[in-house]
Amino acid sequence: MGFSLELAPQLRRQMAALNAITAHRLESGNRVSTRGANVIFWDVDTQIDFLLPGGRLYVPGAEKIIPNLHELTAWAGAHCIPIISSACAHLPGDPEMRTYGPHCVAGTPGQQKIPETLLPNRLVVPNRRVELPDLRSFLQVIVEKQAFDSFTNPNTEQVLQQFGNDLSIVMYGVTTDICVACAADALLDRGRHVQLVSNAVAALDEKKAASFLDSFRKRGGMLVRTRNVLRETSAA
Ligand SMILES: [Zn+2]
C-alpha cells in the first residue's frame, strides 16, 4: 500500500463526468437519496481482524456481509464513486487495546483490509498530519486511525472537504454499535447527509446497535439496502 500514481487529467475529467451522471441517477431513485449531491461511499474498518473468523476482534457473523461489501466496492469502482475507508492501525499502548484487546495492529496481516473492499487506485493517509494531494485522482482514500473516531486522524476533515460540501454519503462496515455509530454521528454533527446500508454492517452488541440506529434515524439518517444502492444506480 502507499501512494498510487496520479491519473492522467483526461481520465480524471471522465471520472468527474461519470460521477455527476451517477449522482443524477441516484437522485432519481426513491429509496437512495442524493438530493442532487455527489455520492461518496464511507467504508468503516472492513479489516481482516474484524471480519474473518479467527480475526483478533472477530465480529460474529460478519463474514456474511462480505458479498455485499464486495458488490458495493466493485460498483463504486465501476462507476467512479470515491470511497473513503477508515482503518484501525493500532500501536501497542493505544487506549482502545485495553478495552478490546490487541486488534488491527499496524504491520500485521489482521490490520489489512479484506481484498473485497479494496480498489486498485487508492491512497493511504497515515494518522499524522500530511500534505494531501488532489484526492480526486484516487478512487479510494484509506484514513488510518488509532481510536474509534475517524476524525482523530488530523487529515480527515480535509479529506472530506476535498470531496465537497454537498455530499450524499453512503456508509457501511463494522461495527454498527461502535465505529460505524461513531463515524455516522461525527458526520451528522458536521451537517452531512448519511445513508447507512443496513445489510452491509455488522455489530458486536446488537442492543447497542439498535439504540444507535434509533438515534441515527431520529437525527435524519436514512437506512438503505445494498440492492437499493445497486439497483437504483445500475443503469448509470
Ligand atoms: Zn480499533
- Residue 231 has which C-alpha cell? 439497483
Yes or no: say if 96 and 147 are a contact pair by the CB < 8 Å rule.
Answer: yes
Q: How far is the CA of 13 from the centre of ligand 1 (A)?
A: 36
| pLDDT score recorded for residue 36 | 54
Flag the least confident range among 9-18, 98-107, 136-145: 9-18
Residue type, 140: Q
Q: Is the pLDDT confidence value at 3 over 60?
A: no
Q: How far is the CA of 88 from the centre of ligand 1 (A)?
A: 5
User: In the chain, pLDDT over 70 holds for what percent of residues?
Assistant: 82
Yes or no: say if 67 and 124 are a contact pair by the CB < 8 Å rule.
Answer: no
**Residue 29 counted as domain residue:** no
**Residue 68 counted as domain residue:** yes
pLDDT, one tens digit per residue, over 9-61 is 444 545 544 444 343 333 333 356 555 568 999 999 999 999 999 999 999 99
Q: How far is the CA of 181 from the centre of ligand 1 (A)?
A: 14
Among residues 38, 33, 12, 13, the alpha carbon closest in space to that of 23 is found at: 38
| pLDDT score recorded for residue 37 | 64
Q: Is the pLDDT confidence value at 201 over 80?
A: yes
How many angstroms separate the CA atoms of 158 and 73, rounded? 23
**Residue 49 counted as domain residue:** yes
pLDDT, one tens digit per residue, over 142-192 is 999 999 999 999 999 999 999 998 899 999 999 999 999 999 999 999 999
Q: Is the pLDDT confidence value at 7 over 90?
A: no
Number of domains in the chain: 1
What CATH number did the domain enclosing 78 receive?
3.40.50.850
**Residue 202 counted as domain residue:** yes
The pTM of the full predicted model, rounded to 2 decimals, is: 0.85
Per the structure, the complete domain to which residue 158 belongs is given by: 3-22+37-235
Yes or no: say if 236 and 22 are a contact pair by the CB < 8 Å rule.
Answer: yes
**Residue 18 counted as domain residue:** yes
How many angstroms separate the CA atoms of 81 and 232, rounded? 14
**Residue 57 counted as domain residue:** yes
- Of 115 and 165, which is predicted with more confidence? 115
**Residue 229 counted as domain residue:** yes
Q: How far is the CA of 231 from the centre of ligand 1 (A)?
A: 33
Average pLDDT over residues 189-215: 97
Q: How far is the CA of 227 from the centre of ligand 1 (A)?
A: 29
Q: How far is the CA of 103 from the centre of ligand 1 (A)?
A: 6
| pLDDT score recorded for residue 38 | 87
Q: Is the pLDDT confidence value at 97 over 60?
A: yes
**Residue 210 counted as domain residue:** yes
User: C-alpha distances in angstroms, 205 versus 39, 46, 178?
Assistant: 29, 17, 9
Strands 140-145 and 83-88: parallel
How many angstroms separate the CA atoms of 222 and 169, rounded? 10
